Chain A
Amino acid sequence: MSKHTFSIGGVHPHDNKISRECALQQLPIAPAVYIGVSQHIGAPSVPCVAVGDKVKVGQVIAEPGGFVGAFIHSSVSGTVKSIAPRADLAGRSTTHIEIAVEGDEWLEGIDTSDTLVTAIPEDAKTIVEKIRLGGVVGLGGATFPTHVKLSPPPGSKCERVIINGCECEPYLTSDFRTLLEKGEQVVVGAALLQKAMGGVPCTIAIEENKPEAIAHIREVIAKLGYKDLDVMVMKMMYPQGGEKQLIDAVMHRQVGSGALPISVGAVVQNVATALAVYEAVQKNKPIIDNSVTVTGECFPKQANLIVRVGTPLQYIIDYLGGIPADAVKIISGGPMMGRAVANLQAATVKGTGALLFLTEKQTRRAPETNCIRCGKCADACPMGLEPFLLNKLSKAADWEACEANAAQDCIECGCCLYSCPAHIPLLDNIRVGKGFVLSAIRARAKK
């Protein structure tokens, strides 16, 4: 069997999927949740409840602030305590809606039973509208509103829907467990996305280190009998789950600089998003929870938890027995692209995928030495950039040259930093250049 992967760059970190045997588990509801209004890319949502209002699970509490925006629903039932700024994971102050939990009362119309609904609605528009009303955003990490992705601009045509089940980041296992335990729902979700895009073929891409998931999904597809839906086994390679990399691996097409995947006829959705789509369309259940991997070699009670949106991180950690003594860093997300958590009082958002505990030894940065021009970073870059050059240009604050060398195309996967034998903080510097280039491009577009 030939295995597929993207054509340039990539690294091969040890996958460390130590929590792969931990079954999905429902986290008890926290006494109070804090639901942020800016959980997605695009305009922040506008709260539509007032302090003192009683809300039920699944009730809309914030409306989209623009076309690229998403509905936000209450993940618990209770009373709105406050609508006030609160620090997020990075310490940045954003508006959060605080809800004091009372019981667990769901809004009428939400199907909370376990029965699988396989009948696909006939009309694609109904599906997209239900996805919009369900507040579904891309759960692979970027949290781009899904209904926007499913509404291609006029003139472009979708030729293939790709369900991203690569989970190429080390440590993360929530997508793997979802595939294994909620495979039927994911497959129905994939069929719904397929229908929404006009019945185009659909590929579920899974990396070879998850053989159980591959076998299970194949079985489910055969059982449910959907057409034009197949599983593609991918070679293990990071960042396979990157949107542009996955399109390259599956369809052998390259998305141009600054272009959207739809320009080459692809729509990529994550496994967790497919599940959310199933729940939103078939069960009328908006995104009120998501699966979070809590892991790390130093963390004894690893788990794959289903967490209500807005649960404070401290509550999750306390539930699993607190912070281990030798952990020095907690990362939200995987070790390659995740960000260190600066504030444990921060609440989870729709896109929170993992909490990773690292020890001092694992996080230690080796001292930076001079570039030895080995070119490993350029070999590793999956976007075909020259990280050593961008690093230099960014340090020299030469933003025009950064743009000429496509700093804006950096996907911040961290392969360059991972492969650099001189331990140069390549990505840190490139991010600076990318930021300046992107703001220059936006300023030009405004003119």
Chain B
Amino acid sequence: MNVLIWTIAVVTVLGLVLALVLYLVAQRFKVEEDPRIDEVEKAMPGANCGGCGFAGCRAFAEAAVKAPNLDNNYCPVGGNDTMAKVAAILGYEVKAKAPMVAVVRCNGNCEARPKVNEYDGYASCYVKSLLYTGDTGCSFGCLGCGDCVNACQFGALSMDPVTGLPVVDQEKCTACGACVKACPKRIIELRPKGPRGMRMYVSCVNKDKGPVAKKACANACIGCGICAKTCTHEAITVEGNVAYIDPAKCKLCRECEAMCPTGAIHGVNFPKPLDKEAIKERIKIRQQKAKEAANV
């Protein structure tokens, strides 16, 4: 019996002494941390995707708390809602940003862009791009091994087995930019989602001269510049034989899409299908009027 009492007593006293030591050490060496970091981290989506440019949500929270404002810290995944919460915690102002979405700027499907050789190596776009320009005549387009699909943490990208091109699920895409970095051909671009999802873009990055590009791919932008001449909003520039639509200036009139001879310009999520003839007629009348005005 005695042994039992002694054992309990010794262990209890030992426990108390050690607890006291631990307490004193913890007091002496405690790390002061801004409690707001935890709060900000809780408000984050917790995907740790790195889309903000930091290693993860915690790293973003630390940077956001330290920074004097939120201009350079923005969580693309959480978007404006999350940033509003973060701003409320930190007492900062935050500018609302237009929600973005990944856009695949290549429409070289199997039909339009026939294969000229067969790649049988390791299925990775990056490895493939190190070896050569790809299995089609176009040296700028999608390589089709799905590095972007593997990079996406949100399941927003998938390869279309019919076209051999990646497809973005715009509901799932958080615009974290992982696919943009993963694509060795730099085909994927983050563009504003646009009002009700409506947006225009040039679905080609081929910088070859017109005939070369056209020979490699029927859907290529040939850099003819008709779109730039048609556009009344100065939203389109043609540089290096490929057109680019500035989303900030584009008014979604779809005139460029109607005029594009190769169908390289795409408009998505428009409620009505494109009426090419009506738009061409409209442009014709406008140009005639402009001519008459110039003559007068």
Q: Which residues of A contact B (CB under 8 A)?
A: 87, 89-93, 328-329, 339-340, 342-343, 363, 365, 425, 428-429, 431-432, 435
| Cα separation A428 to B129 with both chains bound (whole Å) | 11
- Whether B130 lies near A91 (C-beta < 8 A) is no
Task: Determine how close the nearest CB of chain A comes to the CB of B116; give it in whole angstroms.
Answer: 8
- In the docked arrangement, what's the CA distance between A435 and B121, Å? 18
CB closest chain-A residue, reference B136 = A91
Picked from B120, B126, B127, B132, the residue with its CB within 8 Å of the CB of A91 is: B132
Closest to A330 in B: B117
Q: What is the distance, in angstroms, from A327's C-beta to the closest C-beta of chain B?
A: 13
Contact across chains for A428 and B127 when beta carbons are under 8 A apart = yes
B72 CB–A CB distance under 8 Å = no
B133 within 8 A of A: yes
A-B pair count, CB < 8 Å, reads 47
Could you tell me if A428 and B133 are in contact, using CB atoms closer than 8 angstroms? Answer: no
Flag B133-151 by CB within 8 Å of A: 1 or 0 each: 1110001000000000000
Q: Which residue of chain B lies nearest to A363 when distances are taken between CB atoms in the complex?
A: B120
Query: Nearest-CB distance from B142 to chain A (Å)?
Result: 15
**Residue B269 at the chain A interface, CB threshold 8 Å:** no
- Whole-angstrom CA separation of A340 from B126 in the bound complex: 17
User: Given A91-B134, A92-B133, are A428 and B120 neighbors across the interface (CB < 8 Å)?
Assistant: no
Contact A91–B121 (Cβ < 8 Å): no
Q: Is the CB of B124 within 8 A of A90?
A: no
* Chain A hits for B116, CB < 8 A: 342-343
| A431/B130 contact (C-beta < 8 A), A342-B117, A363-B120, A365-B120 known | yes
Known: A339-B132, A342-B132, A435-B130. A91 touches B139 (CB 8 A): yes
User: Are A428's CB and B132's CB within 8 A?
Assistant: no
Additional A-B contacts beyond A91-B132, A329-B120, A425-B121 (8; CB < 8 A): A92-B132, A92-B133, A93-B208, A340-B131, A343-B116, A363-B120, A425-B122, A432-B126
Per-residue interface assignment for chain B, residues 188 to 209, with 1 indicating a CB less than 8 Å from any chain A CB and 0 otherwise: 0000000000000000000010
Q: Which residue of A lies closest to B209 (CB)?
A: A85
> Nearest CB to that of A434 among chain B residues?
B130
Q: Which of B116, B124, B132, B135 has the most CB of A within 10 A?
A: B132
Contact with B131, one of A90, A329, A429 (Cβ below 8 angstroms)? A90
- Name A's interface SS: mixed
Is the Cβ of B121 less than 8 Å from the Cβ of A428?
yes
Measured in the bound complex, the distance between the Cα atoms of B127 and A425 in whole Å is 10
Chain B residue nearest in CB terms to A93: B139
Whether the pair A428, B117 counts as a contact (CB closer than 8 A) is no
Minimum CB–CB distance for A356 against chain B, Å:
15
| Chain B residues in 8 Å Cβ range of A329 | 120
With a CB–CB cut-off of 8 A, which chain A residues contact B133? Answer: 87, 90-92, 342
The residue on A at minimum CB distance from B121 is A428
For residues 30 through 62 of chain B, which have their beta carbon under 8 Å from a beta carbon of chain A? none
- Closest B residue to A395 by beta carbon equals B124
- With A91-B139, A342-B117, A425-B122 in contact, do A431 and B132 touch (Cβ < 8 Å)? no
| Cβ contacts under 8 Å, B121 to chain A | 365, 425, 428
- State whether B127 touches A432 (Cβ < 8 A): yes
Docked Cα-Cα span, A428 to B125, in Å, equals 11
Please tell me if the beta carbons of B120 and A432 are within 8 angstroms of each other in the complex: no
Min CB distance B166 to A, Å, is 19
Q: How far is the CA of A343 from the CA of B122 in the complex (A)?
A: 20
- Chain B nearest CB from A430 CB (Å) reads 10
Residues of B within 8 A of A90 (CB): 131-133
**A417: shortest Cβ distance to chain B, in Å?**
10
Closest residue of B by beta carbon distance from A328: B118
Q: In the complex, what distance in Å separates the CA atom of A214 from the CA atom of B56?
A: 63
Cα A332 to Cα B130 in complex, Å, equals: 16
Note all chain A residues with C-beta closer than 8 A to B208: 93
Give Cα A62–Cα B73 distance, bound, in whole angstroms.
51
Please measure, in the bound complex, the distance between the C-alpha atom of A435 and the C-alpha atom of B139, giving whole angstroms.
20
A91's nearest neighbour on chain B, judged by CB, is B133
Chain B CB count within 10 A is highest, among A91, A363, A431, A432, for: A91
Contacting pair B131 A339 (CB below 8 A): yes
- Shortest C-beta distance, B207 to chain A (Å), equals 9
Tell me the smallest distance from the CB of B127 to a CB of chain A, in Å. Answer: 5
User: Which residues on B sit within 8 Å (CB–CB) of A87?
Assistant: 133, 139
**Which residues does chain B contribute within 8 Å of A328, judged by CB atoms?**
118
| Cα distance A93–B131 in the bound complex, in angstroms | 14
CA of A329 to CA of B117, assembled, Å: 10
Contact of B139 among A89, A92, A340, A429 (CB under 8 A): A92
Question: Which residue of chain A has its CB nearest to the CB of B135?
Answer: A342
9 A–B pairs (Cβ distance < 8 Å), ordered by A? A90-B133, A92-B133, A93-B139, A342-B117, A342-B135, A363-B120, A365-B120, A432-B124, A432-B126
* Cα of A405 to Cα of B128 in the assembled complex, Å: 24
Distance in angstroms between the alpha carbons of A342 and B135 in the assembled complex: 8
A339 to B121, CA, bound (A): 11
Whole-angstrom CA separation of A329 from B133 in the bound complex: 17
Can you name the residue of chain B whose Cβ is closest to the Cβ of A424?
B122
A63 CA / B77 CA spacing, docked (Å):
53
Q: How far is the CA of A89 from the CA of B133 in the complex (A)?
A: 10
Q: A341's closest neighbor in chain B, by CB?
A: B117
A258 nearest CB across to chain B (Å): 21
User: Which of A89, A93, A363, A431 touches B127 (beta carbons < 8 Å)?
Assistant: A431
Question: In the complex the two chains form, what is the Cα distance from A87 to B126 in whole Å?
Answer: 20
Binary per-residue interface labels of chain B (103-121) against chain A in the complex, 1 for a CB within 8 Å, 0 otherwise: 0000000000000111011
Chain A nearest CB, measured from B186 CB (Å): 15
In the complex, what distance in Å separates the CA atom of A365 from the CA atom of B119?
12
Chain B residues, CB < 8 A from A432: 124, 126-127, 130
Shortest 4 CB-CB contacts between residues of A and residues of B: A91-B133, A90-B132, A425-B122, A428-B122
Most buried by B among A93, A328, A342, A363: A342
Closest chain A CB from B216 CB (angstroms): 10
Q: How far is the CB of B17 from chain A (nearest CB, A)?
A: 44
A259 to B269, CA, bound (A): 57
Give the distance to chain A from B147, nearest Cβ to Cβ, in Å. 11
* Bound form: Cα–Cα A432–B125 in Å: 11
Contact B124–A428 (Cβ < 8 Å): yes
Give the residue name and chain of the B residue nearest to A89 (CB): B132
A349 to chain B, nearest CB (A): 15
Measured between beta carbons, the chain A residues less than 8 angstroms from B130 are 431-432, 435
Q: Which residues of A contact B117 (CB under 8 A)?
A: 342-343
